[in-house]
């Protein structure tokens, strides 16, 4: 039987790499460990947005000299990263110059390897868990969130793999956002059992939880190295080990660590943080509609309220809520409360997700209604597809459902994002040059999808809208000043600007 060869596409270079069928990478790992002898070995599980950056931070530790092995599964969407790292090419293109810098420094030192071989775990003094833990949502953006589930299967499997390979006295630090209760009720038993099966000491390993607050934007590295951290340990020795380790990679002098009493507490803290943001956005959504009915500008109103120090963090709805965390973390928490603690659902937090999931639909409906409803054949330029300003992350971006609605109406859609050349989820090439996009002709509608800096009060954009007849702007994010909006409104054509958050 001939196995069909499977490839992994590197979206940065366009290259296709055959995924190896022989998964024995032990020679490379042994060589790496030998070359880095005397250095403690850190294995980072998961080479996603967090794991890759965390690997770089560890390989460039401020108070330590580590050898770092990043590990991920040999799959089409991950293998290219392993290949890229080992070929000496940074797998992330970020506006944060430190990413490239840290990668090159690690390359020079030779202390960063990537692999798919679980053999790596056997070499680890410290294992950092940075894999995904997803929520399965029965939501299609068009109707209410009807139900959701959390499949712990893949996460449990990843923990088993660690337990089957790790040293008995390893330090495991979970950075993944997990349902509260997971370290105590899931990770600890799995590792304990696996070690017992291997006839190893089952009470020598250390297990800590310390969640990340990574923002893959201009402060990507700093969001790990130079930011506040919360941590906890499953027992006193784990607490000490976790703290000692964190002090070697994080600037704890400027950003003191916060120790919480147990792993449930830090796990709750993480999902509570994100649920708080999700709730604040959901809350203002209702009010933005009320404001619209009353002829009030919700942007103006919120800016006035933000003058109060106690109200600085009141949020705006924009086109919707995206990113990997906010659309799922409230649900992770509610699931955990029900399934790991036999408690009630977190009703308000679930409601927040429900409201936020509907935002792109509301934004689209507002747009379609205000512009007469006949959208077929219209040429629409969407500026920005990332889920947040100045990041290149498109996971769960609210622009995706908005794009889908326009597509369904038969619009011709042109996409621009200065930071996203390839939109992975939609498998679309995207123009990154703003100049080229502004030269496009016959555009009917411009929609601000993401509040990237480059769009904020861009005079070229203001000029285009003001001087061209029959071109309209929809700005649900609010990237233009009153003055610029007035300029555009006074330009050729009738009312040319809509939105400013009143969606």
Interaction site with a second copy (CB under 8 A): 180-181, 213, 228, 230, 258, 260-262, 264-266, 268-269, 272-273, 275-277, 279-280, 282-283, 286-287, 289-291, 293-297, 300-305, 307-308, 310-314, 333, 337, 341, 343-344, 346-349, 351, 355
Comparison of 312 and 427: residue with beta carbon closer to a second copy: 312
**Residue 78 vs 225, nearer CB to a second copy:** 225
Two tokens at 420?
């996203």
Which of helix, strand or coil describes residue 296? coil
For residue 251, the 8-state DSSP code is -
Quick one: 257 or 414, whose CB is closer to a second copy? 257
Structure tokens at 206: 């250390």
Shorter beta-carbon distance to a second copy: residue 302 or 411: 302
Nearer to a second copy, 204 or 304 (CB): 304
User: Any alpha helices (H) in 329-481, and if so which ranges?
Assistant: 329-339, 347-357, 359-370, 399-408, 434-438, 459-467
Q: What is the smallest separation between the CB atom of 116 and a second copy, expressed in angstroms?
A: 35
The CA–CA distances, whole Å, from 264 to 61, 178, 182, 208 equal 28, 10, 8, 11
Question: Which of residues 110 and 343 has its CB atom nearest to a second copy in the complex?
Answer: 343
Alpha-carbon span 77 to 79, nearest angstrom: 6
Nearer of residues 172 and 333 to a second copy, judged by Cβ: 333
> Which of 402, 386, 401 has its CA nearest to residue 455?
386
As measured in angstroms, the least distance from the Cβ of 154 to a second copy is 23
Q: Rounded to an integer, what distance in angstroms lies between the CA atom of residue 65 and that of residue 80?
A: 27
Please state the closest distance from residue 283 (CB atom) to a second copy, in A: 5
Question: With contact defined as beta carbons under 8 Å apart, do 319 and 398 qualify?
Answer: yes
Half-sphere exposure of 385 (CA within 13 A, CB side): 28
Which CB, 251 or 265, lies closer to a second copy? Answer: 265
Choose between 90 and 333: whose C-beta lies nearer to a second copy.
333
Q: Identify the DSSP state of 431.
A: B
Q: Smallest gap, in angstroms, from Cβ of residue 344 to a second copy?
A: 8
Residue 227 Cβ, how far from a second copy at the closest point, in Å?
8
Give the Cα separation of 272 and 279 in Å (integer).
10
Q: How far is the CB of 290 from a second copy (least distance, A)?
A: 5
- Rounded to whole angstroms, the Cα distance separating 168 from 206 reads 9
Give min distance, CB of 347 to a second copy, in A. Answer: 7
- Least CB distance from residue 307 to a second copy, whole Å? 4
The two tokens of residue 483 are 């003055």
Conformational region of residue 424, where left means phi above 0, alpha means psi within -120 to 50, and beta covers everything else: alpha
Cα→Cα distances 440→296, 434, 458, 489, 500, Å: 34, 10, 16, 21, 24
For the bound state, the minimum distance from the C-beta of residue 243 to a second copy, rounded and expressed in Å, comes to 14
Per-position DSSP letters for 180-225, written without gaps between them? TTHIIIIIHHHHHHHHHHTTS-SSS-EEEE-------STTTTHHHH
At closest approach, how far in Å is the CB of 501 from a second copy?
13
> Quick one: 24 or 286, whose CB is closer to a second copy?
286
Whether the Cβ atoms of residue 237 and residue 205 lie closer than 8 Å to each other: no
């Amino acid at each position: 039987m001939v196995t069909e060869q499977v490839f992994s596409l590197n979206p940065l270079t366009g290259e296709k790499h055959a995924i190896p069928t022989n998964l024995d990478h032990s020679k490379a790992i042994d060589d790496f460990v030998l070359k880095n002898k005397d250095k403690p070995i850190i294995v980072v599980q998961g080479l996603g947005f967090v794991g890759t950056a965390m690997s770089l931070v560890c390989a460039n530790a401020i108070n330590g000299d580590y050898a770092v092995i990043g590990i991920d599964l040999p799959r089409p969407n991950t293998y290219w990263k392993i290949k890229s790292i080992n070929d000496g090419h940074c797998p992330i293109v970020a506006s944060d110059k430190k990413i490239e810098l840290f990668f090159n420094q690690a390359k020079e030192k030779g202390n960063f390897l990537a692999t798919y071989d679980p053999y790596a775990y056997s070499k680890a003094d410290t294992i950092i868990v940075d894999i995904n833990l997803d929520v399965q949502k029965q939501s299609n953006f068009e109707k209410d969130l009807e139900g959701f589930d959390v499949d712990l299967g893949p996460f449990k499997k990843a923990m088993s793999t660690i337990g089957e390979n790790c040293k008995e006295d390893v330090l495991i630090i979970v950075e993944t956002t997990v349902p509260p209760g997971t370290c105590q009720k899931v990770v600890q038993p799995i590792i304990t059992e696996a070690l017992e099966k291997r006839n190893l000491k089952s009470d020598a390993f250390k297990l800590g939880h310390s969640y990340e607050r990574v923002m893959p934007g201009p402060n990507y590295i700093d969001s790990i190295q130079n930011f506040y951290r919360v941590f906890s340990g499953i027992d006193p020795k784990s607490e000490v080990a976790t703290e000692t380790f964190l002090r070697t990679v994080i600037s704890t002098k400027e950003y003191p660590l916060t120790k919480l009493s147990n792993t449930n507490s830090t796990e709750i803290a993480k999902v509570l943080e994100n649920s708080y943001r999700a709730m604040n956005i959901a809350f203002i959504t209702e009010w933005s509609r009320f404001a619209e009915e009353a002829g009030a500008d919700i942007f103006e109103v919120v800016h006035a309220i933000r003058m109060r120090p106690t109200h600085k963090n009141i949020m705006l709805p924009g086109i919707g809520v995206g990113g990997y965390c906010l659309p799922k973390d409230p649900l992770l928490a509610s699931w955990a409360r029900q399934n790991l603690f036999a408690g009630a659902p977190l009703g308000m937090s679930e409601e927040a997700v429900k409201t936020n999931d509907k935002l792109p639909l509301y934004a689209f409906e507002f747009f379609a209604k205000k512009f007469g409803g006949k959208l077929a054949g219209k040429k629409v330029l969407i500026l920005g597809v990332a889920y947040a300003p100045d990041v290149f992350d498109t996971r769960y971006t609210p622009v995706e459902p908005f794009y889908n609605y326009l597509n369904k109406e038969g619009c011709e859609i042109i996409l621009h994002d200065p930071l996203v050349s390839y939109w992975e989820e939609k498998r679309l090439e995207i123009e990154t040059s703003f100049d080229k996009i502004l030269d496009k002709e016959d555009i009917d509608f411009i929609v601000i999808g993401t509040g990237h800096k480059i769009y904020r009060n861009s005079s070229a954009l203001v000029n285009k809208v003001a001087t061209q007849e029959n071109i309209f702007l929809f700005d649900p994010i609010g990237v233009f000043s009153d003055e610029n909006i007035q300029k555009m409104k006074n330009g050729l054509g009738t009312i040319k600007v809509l939105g400013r958050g009143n969606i």
